[in-house]
Amino acid sequence: MSSPLPPYASTLQVTWFYAFRIICGLIFFFLIFPILVIVPLSFNAQDFFTFTPEMLRFDPAGYSLKHYVDFFTNPDWQQALYNSVTIAPAATILATVLGTLAAIGLSQAHVPYKSAIMAILISPMIVPLIISAAGMYFFYSRLGLQGTYIGVVLAHAALGTPFVIITVTATLVGFDRSLVRAAASMGADPVTTFFKVQMPLIMPGVISGALFAFITSFDEVVVVLFLGSASQKTLPWQMFIGLREQISPTILAVASVMVALSIVLLFTLEMLRRRSERLRGLSPG
Amino acid sequence: MSSATDTSTDAIAGDGIVRAADGTPLKRSLARALRREKLRSFLLIAPLLAFVVISFLMPIADMLFRSVENNIVEDTIPETVQTLASWDADSGDLPDERVYAALFQDLQIAVEQRIHTRLGSRLNYEKSGMSGLFRKTGREVRRMEAEGPFKERFIEIDEDWADIEVWAVIKRYSPPYTPGYFLNAVDAELTAEGVEMKPENERIYLMLFWRTLVMSLMITLSCLLLGYPIGYLLSHLPARSANLLMILVLLPFWTSLLVRTSAWKVLLQQQGVINDFLVWINLIDDAGRLVMINNQTGTIIAMTHILLPFMILPLYSVMQTISPSYVRAAKSLGASDWTAFWRVYFPQTVPGIGAGAILVFILAIGYYITPELVGGTSGIFISNRIAYHISTSLNWGLAAALGTILLLLVMALFYVYDRIVGIDNVKLG
């Protein structure tokens, strides 16, 4: 498929070539359409979830920002936004610091029980969320952490650490150990070596791990539904409740804002990936 | 690393032992360095290990424990349990006066602490009517005088106390550990004759497990059907255009699960965009709008969309490594396009199919949010039932047992995944 069709291609081959591209186009449409369609719908002047005749005629009267205004003024949504932006960063910092240290430890040459430790540290990513949520609900209730800010942060940090481990470990694979030895031979103590030599080189991995941990916490709804109380309700929680009970078009405005956020995240990660490859000399320029 | 400088200046002394610069034998010096290195890496790992064990593994262990734990009967009515031990449920006689007297004592204390209703709800999972029986008896027991005959008095309060089956259930569930929750989770129950399946009309969990597996399989298959062409196209395009098209795969991957579920909820509604469009192009009339949500169709469509990137990414990474010369060689030897694809190309993509399919399947069987929102009643999974028992029916033991079975299933699948792909090869983005 990479080369254009050869001149001797039969009619059948030509037909299949274009048919295949059309099929792929339809699948891409299936992937992207549901996400893009909510953006225009969120500007609906009516409280409907479909395109009104005014919108289809591109009549300005059919469009309005009222759902966005509702999002930014309604105290319920504001509380949820506030909770989301306080819980996610705390969980991210905890997961990134602990995860980065552990990934550096795991990348050393002689680690006893390495694969067992790795399996334990990755486990929060494997276990279905509903089971993690159930277990945490039972256990955190015993500790009195159910329904507290700390409880939700701890739970989200635990769910985020596997991503930090995986991304930082991947960066460390290309890390040249002799740089550490060179720094030590020139008299740098281990702490200086870490911050001046190792840290800048593995930074792209750390940041993308942190982004994964952030999005894990920011998007997470199952655990917070069980573990949190009304005062910890986050944006996904509010959306979940909204979708289940009194569905309001404000959800579409919130969803559009979150799509914008994910586009920003996607591009940040792509930049980081390129930078990391360049630093490790895996790809030119 | 400090020992590295030591060992660089080895010297062999007269006794033939290789020594480091400070005079210690090299072997010992190296061993010490190795120990130090192990200790350091362990100290780096330890904080996270402790954190994950406390905040994640202990909760899971707690859940596993809850699925068999049954202290409540012994804790609430300890005397009764003890005196009941000598009673034989198969004898056909009611327990003797001593048991009723013990029950009176126990209930006096239990009612004081208001824990008798909890025991009632616990036993109600095994035999319906127990909750009401304990509630009613609890009310009456306070007014009862502390003298016998207790047997008649209890039967006066509620004739169920003259029912041998009631006592048999109490005796059967008095040990501190019980298989009862697990039996319930597979639609069985413990009766006087041993383990038996429940009557047909009360069996729900096996059917729900079966439905979860079948629907996850259908989701996996549709992900494969849609993901394979995309993986093929991306791996055969020049890097620049492949990277651009990759954005169309990664954007849904990065978009919040709730956002994608709300999008489908909006699209699939009867008054939604898809139905409006179909009416507009006159494919269906206004009365015949399709019901695509709150049923299995809704769950399968939405979850295929949500999990499709997890199929495309492993397929793509495998297909990228397949050299085009194999297919060219096959064609030059006279194979048709189809034969070259099916006999030469396709077998090489099987590892990718295996990895993607298991990953999607594992993720699908544990899904909760999407089936809850677009599945209605016919499209829900076992997870939704677990959530129901935790937050609505409060039968935590059963929720834990269902969760344990689901966890074992996922672990078994993950073991297979680890064998095929390797847990270290998990790649993100």
How many degrees, rounded to 5, is the angle at CA B50 between CA A145 and CA A164?
A: 95
Which B-chain residues 332-351 have CB contacts (< 8 A) with chain A? 337
| B130-164 pLDDT per residue, tens | 888 888 888 888 777 777 788 888 888 888 888 88
| B348-383 pLDDT per residue, tens | 998 889 888 988 999 999 999 999 998 888 888 999
Q: What are phi and psi of A173, to 5 degrees?
A: -60, -40
- Return the bridge partners of B195, or none: B190
The number of distinct structural domains making up chain A is: 1
> B230 and A24: CB-CB below 8 Å?
yes
Indicate the pTM of the whole model.
0.85
> A134 and B400: CB-CB below 8 Å?
yes
Q: Which residues contact B346 (CB under 8 A, 6 or more apart)?
A: none
Nearest chain A alpha carbon to B305: A31
Q: How confident is the model at residue B6 (pLDDT cuts 50, 70, 90)?
A: very low
Residue A267 sits in which domain range? Answer: 74-279
What is the pLDDT, as a whole number, of residue B13? 58
Chain B residues touching A160 at Cβ < 8 A: none
Residue A26 lies in a domain: no
**DSSP code string of A67-98:** HHHHHHH-HHHHHHHHHHHHHHHHHHHHHHHH
Query: How far is the C-alpha of B423 from the C-alpha of B429, rounded, in Å?
Result: 16
Instruction: Considering only the beta carbons, identify the residue of A23, A130, A219 that sits closest to B229.
Output: A23
Q: Inform me whether the C-beta atom of residue B308 falls under 8 Å from chain A C-beta atoms.
A: yes
Average pLDDT of chain B is: 86
pLDDT averaged over 10-residue windows placed end to end, chain A, 285 residues: 70 91 95 91 82 78 87 91 94 96 87 87 91 93 91 95 90 82 89 87 87 91 90 90 82 91 87 76 49
Q: Inform me whether the C-beta atom of residue B415 falls under 8 Å from chain A C-beta atoms.
A: no
Distance from the Cα of A84 to chain B's closest Cα (Å) equals: 13
Residue A7 lies in a domain: no
CATH topology of domain B205-425: MetI-like fold (1.10.3720)
Please state whether A36 falls in left (phi above 0), alpha (psi between -120 and 50) or beta: alpha
Instruction: Considering only the beta carbons, identify the residue of A98, A130, A266 that sits closest to B47.
Output: A98
Which contacts qualify for B349-352: CB closer than 8 Å, 24 or more apart? B349/B228, B349/B231, B349/B315, B349/B318, B349/B319, B349/B322, B351/B318, B351/B420, B351/B421, B352/B231, B352/B314, B352/B315, B352/B316, B352/B317, B352/B318, B352/B319
Nearest to B47 by CA among A134, A174, A165, A127: A165
Q: What type of residue is B351?
A: P
CB atoms within 10 A of CB B142: 10
Mutate to test the interface with B, among A28, A126, A159, A229 (most CBs of B within 10 A): A126
Q: Which residues contact A279 (CB under 8 A, 6 or more apart)?
A: A201, A204
> A130 and B257: CB-CB below 8 Å?
no
Residue A30 lies in a domain: no
A280 burial via Cβ count (<10 Å: 0-12, 13-18, 19+): middle
Nearest chain A alpha carbon to B258: A236
Residue A219 lies in a domain: yes
Nearest chain B alpha carbon to A253: B259
- For chain B, domain boundaries: 2-66, 71-178, 205-425
Distance from the Cα of A19 to chain B's closest Cα (Å) equals: 12
The H helix count followed by the E strand count for chain A is 13, 0
**CATH code of residue A207:** 1.10.3720.10
| B375-417 pLDDT per residue, tens | 888 888 999 999 999 988 888 899 999 999 999 999 998 888 8
> B259 and A255: CB-CB below 8 Å?
yes
Tokens of A133: 């949520």
Residue A284 lies in a domain: no
Distance from the Cα of A114 to chain B's closest Cα (Å) equals: 10
Residue A2 lies in a domain: no
Judge whether residue B11 has pLDDT over 60: no
CA-based diameter of chain B, in Å?
A: 102
What is the pLDDT, as a whole number, of residue A285? 36
Residue A106 lies in a domain: yes
